[in-house]
Amino acid sequence: MRGYHDIGGNEAGPIPIVELPWLHWEKQVEAIRNLLGDGTRRIMSLDELRRGFESFGEEKYKQWSFYRRRIEAMVDVLIEKGVFTREEFEKEAELLRGRWTPPVDCE
Amino acid sequence: MKHRFDAGDRVVVLELNKAGHIRTPYYVRNHFGTILQRCGSYLNPERLAVGDVAGPVVPLYRVAFQFGELWKDYSGNPDDVLCIEIYEHWLRAANDPTAAQTN
């Protein structure tokens, strides 16, 4: 049995050595991940998060970036654990989207 | 938890056909390696991945594989090895006759 993410050891050609920018929202994703998994909260472990993006489907995994996978899997796991419902999440996201002005250099 | 293996032991990585989050990559399964060191015992990430933090802990090992064992067409230095941490339940002693499931 081989997960769609389990591609280590495959032929992949030369490795592009380029410094990628670490975007602000990506840091926020990691900050939230750390808060959810820390010793006092223990709401979601790193292994739970990994299980999330290793099982949410190959199509999503391949089309999304590293941090997009993480935030989407985080939402899935939090819904699965009953922290909030999909409806509550989407309602809140809609509310915040209305208040949000994208910065000029936002990618 | 008591360790079944020690440094220098020859082992085979099992194919446990498990779904969910597992930490043993496909490319080392059914291959022979050598235990380099014991790395302590930890909660099983396969159980943590489904929110089970009750334990027990599982011994973890650092295992070395010769590149030529993993990639048959490898033509570099024959001493090159890949080192990777593997949990005990994915390993079987190489001299164990029931382990004869290598490709």
Is residue B103 over pLDDT 70? no
Give the H or E element holding residue A71.
Answer: helix A66-80
Instruction: Determine the distance in angstroms separating the CA of A55 from the nearest CA of chain B, rounded to an integer.
Output: 7
The per-residue pLDDT of chain B, averaged, comes to 92
Predicted confidence at residue B102, as pLDDT, reads 44
User: Look-up: residue for tokens 């990559």?
Assistant: B25
B59 strand-pairing partners: B41
The residue in chain B having the minimum alpha-carbon distance to the alpha carbon of residue A57 is B20
The mean pLDDT value for B79-97 works out to 94
Predicted confidence at residue B96, as pLDDT, reads 77
Do residue A45 and residue B53 have CB atoms under 8 angstroms apart? yes
Residue A21 pLDDT class (50, 70, 90 cuts): very high
Predicted confidence at residue A103, as pLDDT, reads 74
* Secondary structure (3-state) at A88: helix
B81 strand-pairing partners: B66
**What are B36's two structure tokens?**
């380099």
Nearest CB to A54 within list B21, B53, B70: B21
- Residue A31 CA to its chain's centroid (Å): 11
Instruction: Determine the distance in angstroms separating the CA of A79 from the nearest CA of chain B, rounded to an integer.
Output: 13
Summarised one tens digit per residue, pLDDT across range A37-72 is 998 888 999 999 999 999 999 999 999 999 999 999
Burial of A18 (0-12, 13-18, 19+ CB in 10 A): exposed
Residue A80 neighbours by CB distance under 10 Å: 13
Predicted confidence at residue B48, as pLDDT, reads 95
Do residue A42 and residue B53 have CB atoms under 8 angstroms apart? yes
Instruction: Determine the distance in angstroms separating the CA of A100 from the nearest CA of chain B, rounded to an integer.
Output: 34
Is residue B98 over pLDDT 50? yes
Summarised one tens digit per residue, pLDDT across range B48-57 is 999 999 989 9
Q: Tell me the ipTM for this assembly.
A: 0.84
Instruction: Determine the distance in angstroms separating the CA of B89 from the nearest CA of chain A, rounded to an integer.
Output: 16
Predicted confidence at residue A107, as pLDDT, reads 53
With beta carbons under 8 A apart, name residues in chain A contacting B85.
none
Is residue B100 over pLDDT 60? no
User: Cis (ω within 30 of 0) for the bond into B56?
Assistant: yes
Selected from 2.30.30.50, 3.60.20.10, 3.10.105.10, 1.10.630.10, the CATH number assigned to the domain covering B10-95 reads 2.30.30.50
B10 vs A10, residue with greater confidence? B10
Instruction: List helix spans (H) across chain B.
Output: 45-48, 67-70
Q: What is the pTM of this model?
A: 0.87
Nearest CB to A51 within list B15, B20, B26: B20
Nearest CB to A47 within list B25, B49, B70: B49
**What are A20's two structure tokens?**
């990628």
Q: Are B31 and B14 in contact (CB under 8 A)?
A: no
The mean pLDDT value for B47-76 works out to 95
With beta carbons under 8 A apart, name residues in chain B contacting A50.
21, 49
Predicted confidence at residue B97, as pLDDT, reads 65
Tell whether B18 lies on the interface with A, counting CB pairs under 8 A: yes
Nearest Cα to Cα of residue A33 among A64, A67, A81, A60:
A67
> Domain-by-domain residue ranges, chain B?
10-95
Reply yes or no on domain A24-98 having CATH 1.25.40.10. Answer: no
Is residue A81 over pLDDT 90? yes
Is residue B23 over pLDDT 80? yes
Q: Are B57 and B1 in contact (CB under 8 A)?
A: yes
